[in-house]
Amino acid sequence: MGDITVSAPGKVILHGEHAVVYGKVAIAASLNLRTYLRMRRGTDNLISLDLPNIAIKKSWTTDGIKSQVSLPLCDPNKPVGVSGELLTKLKDIAGVDQHESDTKQLAVITFLYLYCALAAHKGTLPAIGLKVVSVQPVSAGLGSSASFSVCLAASLLQLSGIISSPAGDEVWSEAERDLINSWAFFGEKILHGNPSGIDNSVSTYGGAIKFKSGKITPLCRVPKLQILLVNTGVPRSTKVLVARCRERYQKYPDIIEPVLKSIEAISHRCEEVLAELADSPSTDLYETLEDLIDINQHHLGALCVNHPALEEIVRTAAKYGLHAKLTGAGGGGCAFIFIKPDTPLTTLADIKSEFASQKLSCWETSVGSPGVTAHSGDDGHLKQLFS
Amino acid sequence: MGDITVSAPGKVILHGEHAVVYGKVAIAASLNLRTYLRMRRGTDNLISLDLPNIAIKKSWTTDGIKSQVSLPLCDPNKPVGVSGELLTKLKDIAGVDQHESDTKQLAVITFLYLYCALAAHKGTLPAIGLKVVSVQPVSAGLGSSASFSVCLAASLLQLSGIISSPAGDEVWSEAERDLINSWAFFGEKILHGNPSGIDNSVSTYGGAIKFKSGKITPLCRVPKLQILLVNTGVPRSTKVLVARCRERYQKYPDIIEPVLKSIEAISHRCEEVLAELADSPSTDLYETLEDLIDINQHHLGALCVNHPALEEIVRTAAKYGLHAKLTGAGGGGCAFIFIKPDTPLTTLADIKSEFASQKLSCWETSVGSPGVTAHSGDDGHLKQLFS
């Protein structure tokens, strides 16, 4: 068997962040800043994991793992979460503290769990070397951990022959993707405790999904939209921001509840417009997307989850006739600027250089792109990425 | 009889601008930037009007007016609007074009109408000289024309003995103020065609009122609150901004209707908090007022009636830990910054000097102050104002 190379996208919340906590609809879309995983047959019974983005490089012997974990764990066609007992063992194997909550360390546990459950499902442990490289900023609310879990699940399921080995740049069948998604969700649970399932779903299926009260529905028709993603570089805690919004809601329920309703109406309108755009793009529809971005950005301000650095990005965008909103928890993190197809290239160059002068990282990318994808290892771009 | 000197405040909309157009509650408060009127007994049968703020200075002979208007016009205790026939005559007398819509020119007509209806109600025409000086910016949505009408009505009713002549710095009885207010409303009709009645009511009664679907209710308990009023200097048309908001409403009814509901809830909460503050001021209540200002400012952005110059004022205020919102139609015009009692004087000095460096006019003043008031002519401040 040759190398296995897969990639999976990140995600942005287009509309509905925070409102989703109160049972309102949110729309999330795949973000074409991808995580790439290359798996090589190992030698010397070694299992190695190389995560350069988070400076983690570890290896284990197959015998070492075999001696501590009773294999096989489970039926790989019936995804299941890690047991408390196994988690304790895996933390010991990884040399990770039992009370560790840093997702970087927990990423190793996610790997070990999926390796045991999927690669070793016949009781024998293949020697493999994994390298995972992400071109998206980590811990920025863009779902990098979910795309990591999705890449792990897809590559390990493929290694074991549980899902097919498609030719390069192809996606798996619906059923295969369902299986990848379920395993990725259990990977996410190790990393985040109680994930919503949005991130792994978007990363697996691509396109866009709507999410309401725990139910995820893929949107049927989604156009690919260009965005400029800008990172404020301001660290934020989702927990703190959800609490801040909750405090405002509890102090002013009569004032805030209608704002959440308005955000839900924005999500609905966004869904309609995306479907219409996929059928027949028009200037009017793009302008509607811009209006929705503007209104929701004001609403997020009303919910008290904005930040001066985010406002500054919105203001810079406005100077160039562009429209921006925060995405995710707010209070820092990232904003996206919508780039209509008729935006002049010079405008794009100018705003990028303005952000550069402000020492802000930005990425010209797209949303609505494909989910988890198998790649041919011959691709020059990928070779460079893993070199 | 000595001089008659009266003053009347302007107004700010605290909450509910634009939403009021859709039948939602608005809260308006008196603005202690006042219009002052001094009336002197004239000589030589001259009636003169001096409005230095708008560079108007006119005079007429009592005989000239008497020869063209059949007097008395009406019972001064039964306020009534100008008839079309009389309006035509008054425009001729004033030398104002019949199709004139400039409020500066129409101010002269308002004066002539109230003079004929009130000062000449016994059929004889007193010779008087009026000077009106306003310390508020005109045409800035702060109700300067209403305070002009209120001052005219109060002084002319007093001259005729229809209402009492209180000692200095006193306000009239409820019934007397009702009469002033009704006449001022008919003065406003000449100036604005179809006024809501908010401006003249606030100017007459002072304090604050709530307004919903044409009904004006004075708020019983209103504290005096310090504000810094800042003029963007950006001219705006109320009509254009109401139309812009209407366009957004019609395009996105499901999204905008909840925003209007939220604004109404803000008005209600503001009313409650003002009453509580009047009873017992507390830091918590002031902070609530700040939150309401912040949320409503975001909502006005969502309604598309903001302006970069207004946002810049809000941002400057935020830098000093202060909270600001636009007031009135938006799209330019004025913003007010709420100044909590515990705001350090140095903060106030610093922000004022920052606005000065930005060439923005600002006024340190208060809202919730008394309505139309009679003054003693001996007041040094007033003497200087009219000199």
Q: What is the CATH number of domain B4-221+372-385?
A: 3.30.230.10
Identify the closest residue of chain A to B261 by CA–CA distance.
Answer: A258
Q: Are A327 and A307 in contact (CB under 8 A)?
A: no
Return the H-helix or E-strand segment holding A244: helix A238-251
* A268 in reach of chain B (CB within 8 A): yes
Band the pLDDT of A171: cuts 50, 70, 90: confident
pLDDT tens digit string along B97-135? 999 888 899 999 999 999 999 998 888 899 999 999 998
Name the residue among A255, A269, A301 with its Cβ closest to that of B262: A255
* B312 in reach of chain A (CB within 8 A): no
Q: What residues of chain B, 98 to 137, have a C-beta less than 8 Å from chain A?
A: none
What SS3 string covers A322-371?
A: CEEEEECCCCCCEEEEEECCCCCHHHHHHHHHHHHHCCCEEEEEEECCEC
Query: How far apart, in whole angstroms, are the C-alpha atoms of residue A28 and residue A12?
Result: 6
Question: A209-216, long-range: CB within 8 Å, 24+ apart, which pairs?
Answer: A209/A27, A209/A28, A209/A29, A210/A25, A210/A26, A210/A27, A210/A267, A210/A271, A211/A16, A211/A20, A211/A25, A211/A26, A211/A27, A211/A28, A212/A20, A212/A23, A212/A24, A212/A25, A212/A26, A213/A23
Query: How far apart, in whole angstroms, are the C-alpha atoms of residue B37 and residue B35?
Result: 7
Nearest-CA distance A292 → chain B (Å): 9
Domain with CATH 3.30.230.10 in chain B: 4-221+372-385
Nearest-CA distance A291 → chain B (Å): 9
Contacts of A302 in chain B (CB under 8 A): 262, 294-295, 298-299
| 3-state SS class at A110 | helix
Q: Which two tokens stand for residue A91?
A: 């933390």
Contacts of A92 (CB under 8 A, 6+ apart): A68
pTM score, two decimals? 0.92
Contacts of A73 (CB under 8 A, 6+ apart): A86, A116, A117, A120, A121
> What is the pLDDT, as a whole number, of residue A138?
75
Decide if pLDDT at A199 tops 70: yes
Name which of A369, A241, A257, A366 is nearest A310 in CA terms. Answer: A241
Is 3.30.70.890 the CATH classification of the domain at A225-367? yes
Q: Is B259 in Cβ contact with A259 (below 8 Å)?
A: yes
Q: What average pLDDT is seen over chain A?
A: 94
Q: Is A248 in Cβ contact with B266 (below 8 Å)?
A: no
Contacts of A162 (CB under 8 A, 6+ apart): A76, A77, A118, A121, A179
Contacts of B261 in chain A (CB under 8 A): 258
> What is the pLDDT, as a whole number, of residue B171?
79
> What is the pLDDT, as a whole number, of residue A1?
59
Q: Are A134 and A185 in contact (CB under 8 A)?
A: no
Nearest-CA distance A268 → chain B (Å): 10
Query: How far apart, in whole angstroms, are the C-alpha atoms of residue B62 and residue B82?
Result: 20
Domain with CATH 3.30.70.890 in chain B: 225-367
What is the b/e burial string over A246-270, where b = at least 16 CB atoms within 10 angstroms of the residue's CB? eebbeebeebbbbbbbbbbbbbbbb
Nearest-CA distance B310 → chain A (Å): 13
Decide if pLDDT at A185 tops 70: yes
Consecutive sets of 10 residues in chain B, 387 residues long: mean pLDDT of each?
A: 90 96 96 96 90 95 93 94 95 93 92 95 91 86 93 97 86 93 96 89 96 91 95 90 96 98 98 96 96 98 97 97 96 96 96 97 95 87 86
Q: Is B301 in Cβ contact with A248 (below 8 Å)?
A: no
Name which of B378, B372, B380 is nearest B36 in CA terms. Answer: B372
How many inter-chain contacts (A to B, CB under 8 Å) are there?
A: 74
Q: Is B268 in Cβ contact with A262 (below 8 Å)?
A: no
Q: Is A254 in Cβ contact with B291 (below 8 Å)?
A: no
* A348 in reach of chain B (CB within 8 A): no
Query: How far apart, in whole angstroms, are the C-alpha atoms of residue B103 and residue B110?
Result: 10
Name the residue among A256, A298, A315 with its Cβ closest to that of B302: A298
Q: What is the mean pLDDT of residues A357-375?
A: 95
- Can you tell me the ipTM of this complex? 0.90
| 3-state SS class at B222 | coil
Which amino acids of A are annotated catalytic?
145, 199
